Structure 1
Amino acid sequence: MMRKNNRGGVGEVFLRGLLYSLLIAAAVFFGIMVTKLIKQKIKDSKLDEAHNIEEVADIITAKLSEGKGDIDSVSMYVKRVSDEDLKRINEYISTLCGSVDTYRTSGNPNKGKAKVTFEIKKNTTTYVYDYLKNGTAIPSDNFDANRLYEAVKNIADSCTSPGMADYQKELRLHDYLVNHCQYSYGSPDDENEFRAYGALIDGEAVCSGYAEAMALLLTYSGVECKIVIGSSKDENHAWNLVKISGDWYHLDPTWDDPVELGIVTHAYFNLSDDQIAYDHSWNRDRTEKASSTSQNYFNVTSKICSTVSDFELTAQFGMNSPGNSFETAVSGGNAADYIQQFVNDYYFTSLKYTLIERNSYTVVIIYK
């Protein structure tokens, strides 16, 4: 009797099992992918939406400020913002918490709504600020960041003391920065000129470098300080907001450092929103309100003159004081007329001066 051949049956069972296994694996894989897509869709639905480059910058700054230096990317929907504007994003954001390295888009943000993801990089300022605010250790192999921290520490310790009032800390650190940093017009090949490193170590920086340096020095000294991104004299500009005695004030160390004159001025020291708005523009809805003038430099020093006689007395004292210039302010009169009266009364042949208008007074800087 012949035996029945079961080889074909075994093979068929094996193939059927293999097919089932592949189908199950495919179903699991497909399920995982669908789940990921659903989760991504839910995540994307919660993304912020920006309609101009300023809103893009505000969202990035807010996300970086919420984190502790550990954010690698920021995603959002962007609507009708040109690629040219997106390439200039670092001109609009506060770089204390990081800056944009690259970005990628899904769609065309210039023609409609597109998802844009910005890759974030840390710079020397970011590492130092993160350490001062959150205690995050600066990498030991980052020589420049560690050198910047030591500079911040040494400068702040030499200019201030723990029992000093915040206003005095601010004044001394402001004067140090203006005295030791020279304004640069910025070289695209030298990032340090745009950072606190350029201001505090190289002694040369653009406005963002001044603002970063001021923020690091004040933060180290226990004074709350932020960076404002806006414009001044039709150019992108950065300056500071400082909290003194419970109120916020604008501080612009860049404009207090007249180019090539080698002097320290205080025309932009602790201004209110309305005062600095005379020649600065920014989005007020996205910054702290600065309405007080009590800690304004000229109010604190009582250097605001309301009469010609007050001005002449102040000017006499200034001309006889050390230094190659002095500053005061005029309120309730024409500053140029006050100066001319002083020249006539005290027999000066001429007097070189600069006038800086504010909404309630005029700053007068006289050069000896």
Structure 2
Amino acid sequence: MTCAVAFFGCSCSLTDDSESSEPKRSSIIEKSVTTPSAQDVENDKDYADVKTDYAYDTLTDDYVKELYMRIAKSVDTVYAPNITTTGSLSDYQITQAVEAYKNDHPETFWLKGSSLFVPYGDTTSVKLDYTVQNDKLIAAKKKFNIAVASVLKNLPSGNDFEREEYINNYIIDNCRYDDAAAENNDVQGNENDAYGALVDGKAVCEGYARAFQLLCNKANIDCVLLSGTANSDNHAWNGVKIGGDWYQIDVTWNDTDGENNYAENDYFNLTDDLMFKDHKLSYKYSELNSQTYLSVGTWCNFYVPKCTAEKYNYFNYKYPTVSDPDNADDVSQAIANAAKNGDEYFSIVVDKNTDFDYMYDRIMNDGYLYNWVSEANEINGYSPRLAESCYVYRKDELGVLTVELEYVD
């Protein structure tokens, strides 16, 4: 009997419970199965100081773990390999293994989420599926490695946030969202993998997320892929560990494609509460079994970090927080610095312990913003000079006011 496993995208019932503790790196439990050594795979990594096996650590089925490790030993071949693994496996088990490996290793852009398999008694033969093979794969890997090296060449040596910001900005500046592929559900090339984002310069959300995960891993930042829905459509984004805490980031939605730039980076390092206002997680594989999985047929998750930290939220980290406009001298200096940099926008974070509407009214109608801009001009000696009237965008959910800076010739 020949069976096929495919990775489909569709909506499913949702859960919002996140794992509260981070899984530890574990070795494979060897009982009735024989697996390649986990250390063999570790030795193949070119970024040793970052954890890249979050999906693997959620696996509890020894047969699935074995297949994962056999994929790891075979996936670098230039042709799609046949793998013989222990156990008479179901499509649910095979899908878990393939998707777990893909989620842990976004650099394997050629590995598809589908496969053919044939059970033979106590073993199963699994034929992996590649998007490209042989000489074309060799050439594609070369282009991909050059592109990744080019990005990392200018990686700043700063803290986690600064490296993360560079990666986020690189992707949104150099990749465009492929609306046609997304709207027609018709991915013809590499739009849903890191190759599409980093080499072709076009991708859908999954390509954005896998490219971000890969570059974060290369920059020694832990990062995982998250799957679910947004605006009722299938969607992919990331969890990222910055300064020791987990945050959610949606690089696709941070990319405004030159429109509504005031909203750029609104989805940069959010808490669960903020992200889940318009994003919903799909099931975790650990919540399913071989029967319930058949009725879902959707993008599912492996490790889902709990994200409650706020320190490295984009706005909290980069802009001043105002709790009392009468004691906010740092705002004028921050606006002056933004003007010196030629920034298009500047943001003010309203202290979450104050009433946002009240603070907005005071800042806008009692002349505080006007005074801060005027003082910024004085600090800079009117070079550059900012117009003292400007557009302000309210971001109530984020507790942020974003000011569009207008420069006077």
TM-score by length of 2: 0.55
Alignment correspondent of 2:29: none
Range that drifts further, 229-238 or 306-315 = 306-315
Which secondary structure state, in structure 2, belongs to the residue aligned with residue 151 of structure 1?
helix
Give 1:229 shift. Answer: 0.7
Residue 346 of structure 2 is aligned with which of 319, 326, 334? 326
The amino acid of 1:121's aligned partner reads D
Q: Is residue 101–residue 119 contact of structure 1 (8 Å, CA) maintained in 2?
A: no
Corresponding position: 1:290 with 2:314: no
Q: How much is the aligned-residue C-alpha RMSD, in angstroms?
A: 4.5
Change (3 A) 1:152 1:274: same
Q: Which residue of 2 aligns with 1:358?
A: 397
Tell which structure's C-alpha radius of gyration is larger: 1
Question: Superposition pairs for residues 161-240 of structure 1, below 5 Å?
Answer: 161=157, 164-187=158-181, 188-240=186-238
Using the TM superposition, give the Cα deviation of residue 308 of structure 1 relative to its aligned residue in structure 2, in angstroms.
4.5
User: How far did residue 275 of structure 1 move?
Assistant: 2.4
In structure 2, C-alpha distance between the alignment counterparts of 1:363 and 1:337, rounded to whole Å: 11
Give the CA deviation at 1:211.
0.8
Q: Could you tell me the percent identity over the aligned residues?
A: 24
Aligned pair count?
280
- Normalised to the residue count of structure 1, the TM-score between the two structures is 0.60
How far apart are the structure 1 equivalents of 2:190 and 2:362? Answer: 43
Q: 1:101 aligns with which of 109, 114, 121?
A: 114
Q: 2:143 aligns with which of 127, 141, 147?
A: 147
| Aligned residue number for residue 252 of structure 2 | 254
* Partner Cα distance (2:113, 2:13) in 1: 14
Residue 221 to residue 312, structure 1, CA distance change in 2 (3 Å): closer
Q: Classify the secondary structure of the residue corresponding to 1:278.
A: coil
Offset of 1:262 from its aligned partner?
8.4
Q: Deviations over 1:114-157 (max 9, x none)?
A: xxx99643458xx9xxxxxxxxxx98952112211221122112
Change (3 A) 1:119 1:350: farther
- Distance in 2 (CA, whole Å) between partners of 1:340 and 1:152 is 45
Instruction: For residue 337 of structure 1, report the CA deviation from its aligned partner.
Output: 3.6
Superposition deviation, residue 291 in structure 1: 2.1
- Check the 8 A contact 2:320/2:331 in 1, yes or no: no
What amino acid is the match of 1:358?
E
Distance 1:365 1:218, change over 3 A: farther
Which AA in structure 2 matches 1:366? Answer: E
Contact 1:152 1:217 in 2 (8 A): yes
Q: Which amino acid aligns with 2:163?
A: K
Q: Which residue of 2 aligns with 1:279?
A: 278
Would the aligned equivalents of 2:13 and 2:283 in 1 still touch at CA under 8 Å?
no
Aligned-partner SS, 1:192: coil
Query: Per-residue deviation at 1:246?
Result: 2.4
CA distance 1:176–1:287, shift in 2 (3 Å): same
CA distance in 1, matches of 2:220, 2:128: 27
1:156 is matched with 152
Q: Indicate the residue corresponding to 1:76 in structure 2.
A: 90
Separation of aligned partners in 2, 1:206 and 1:342: 44
SS in 2 for 1:194: coil
Structure 2: distance between partners of 1:319 and 1:165: 21
Contact between 1:196 and 1:210, CA under 8 Å: does it hold in 2? Answer: yes
Specify which structure has the bigger relative contact order, considering alpha-carbon pairs within 8 angstroms and separated by 6 or more residues: 2
Q: Output the CA distance in 2 between the equivalents of 1:300 and 1:355.
A: 18
- Which residue identity is paired with 1:362? V
- Secondary structure of 2:165's counterpart equals helix
Name the CA distance, whole Å, in 1 between partners of 2:12 and 2:393.
36
